[in-house]
Amino acid sequence: MSDVLALLPDTSLRRLSLSVPVGIAVARVTIVQAERALAAGSRAPLVVDPAGFHGDDIFSALVGAATRAGVGVLAYSHFSTPLAARRVVDVVHVTALEILGMGVPDEARLLDLTLANIAQPSVNALVFQGIARNLKQLHVALQTALVGLLAYASIPESTAALARCVGVDQSTLRRWMRDAGLHGCDRFMSGVRLTRTYSERSCRDVSVNKLAAAGGFRSIRTLENRCRQFTLLSPREAVKALTAEQYAERIIRGLLL
């Protein structure tokens, strides 16, 4: 893999440098330097903090330039902040964007996995892109929370738990989701869990136990029920038989009203 070009504040840069695989160099660059590298044909992935740009247009322009150059972009930030969440929602409907929250569980492994495969959009990135227009219509508090889940934050056990995090009652969450053209929060959280199981596809022995653990499902039966609800296939069949694009498409269909 090429060196990673990072447009990050000091704290984020240190976290990234400590988490990337051995042998991968992280080079801190400015926006101008990143643009010059892209123009010169650099294939090094970009790691950026959406909240660190001085304007929405600057962020979207850089992501657009990287997309046209065929360079992968990882948005790496504290997605608990509305600014970072809104900025990725604003650009992701035109390009598949990888996102990862700082401080999420298993952060180092996820960074390694994401950067190793950044040349091709992940299921998570494709699902995010497919529902971005709907997320854009949500109240900012719920939008921020759901983007955080797509950035691999811990998934609440229930809609009631999510409602407490957002600071509203469950009926308000349901109304916001419905008005944005999305099924309820329980369905959304199940869809996010299923996107996380696809990372096990490359394993030689894909067991249902591994898939349930990867998605954070409380039981194998719950995983099987949710997977058939979204994909019409068993978990092992879905992960092995479907391409990332096909898998993501079925998740997206299951999330939209």
Share of residues in the chain with pLDDT > 90 (%): 88
pLDDT, residue 95, reads: 87
Q: Is the pLDDT of residue 27 over 80?
A: yes
Burial of 120 (0-12, 13-18, 19+ CB in 10 A): exposed
Average pLDDT score over residue span 13-25: 87
Residues 87-104: what's their mean pLDDT? 93
Q: What are phi and psi for residue 27, nearest 5 degrees? A: -110, 120
Topology classification of domain 157-257: Arc Repressor Mutant, subunit A (1.10.10)
Q: How far apart are CA 232 and CA 57, in angstroms?
A: 41
Domain 1-120 is found in CATH 3.40.50.300:
no
pLDDT at 204 over 80: no
- Return the pLDDT at 18: 87
> With contact defined as beta carbons under 8 Å apart, do 68 and 61 qualify?
no
- Dump pLDDT digits (tens) for 176-188: 999 999 999 999 9
Structure tokens at 185: 């929060």
Q: What is the mean pLDDT of residues 3-12?
A: 94
Residue 48, burial from CB neighbour count under 10 angstroms (0-12, 13-18, 19+): buried
What amino acid is encoded at 216 in this protein? G
pLDDT at 1 > cutoff 60: no
> Mind listing the pLDDT tens digit for each residue in 100-118?
999 999 999 999 899 989 9
Q: Is-contact 195 251, C-beta < 8 A? A: yes
**Section 21-39 average pLDDT:** 92
Other C-beta atoms closer than 10 Å to the C-beta of 243 total: 10
- What b/e readout covers 165-187, taking b as 16+ CB neighbours within 10 angstroms? ebebebeebbebbeebebbebeb
Q: What confidence category does residue 34 fall into, taking pLDDT thresholds of 50, 70 and 90? A: very high
- How far is the C-alpha of 257 from the C-alpha of 184, rounded, in Å? 9
Q: How confident is the model at residue 21 (pLDDT cuts 50, 70, 90)?
A: confident
CATH 1.10.10.60 domain span(s) along the chain: 157-257
Residue 22 has a pLDDT of: 79
| Per-residue pLDDT, 19 | 84
What's the pLDDT at 42?
A: 94
Residue 24 pLDDT more than 90? no
Give the chain's length.
257
User: Taking a C-beta distance cutoff of 8 angstroms, is the pair 176, 137 a contact?
Assistant: no
How much is the mean pLDDT over the chain? 94
Q: Work out the pLDDT band at 94, boundaries 50, 70, 90.
A: confident
Residues 6+ apart with CB under 8 A from 22: none
Distances (CA, A) of 34 to 31, 47, 73, 101, 102: 5, 10, 12, 22, 22
Helices and strands in the chain, H and E counts: 14, 5
Beta strand 73-77 with 4-7 is unpaired
- Model-level pTM? 0.96
Residue 86 amino acid letter = R
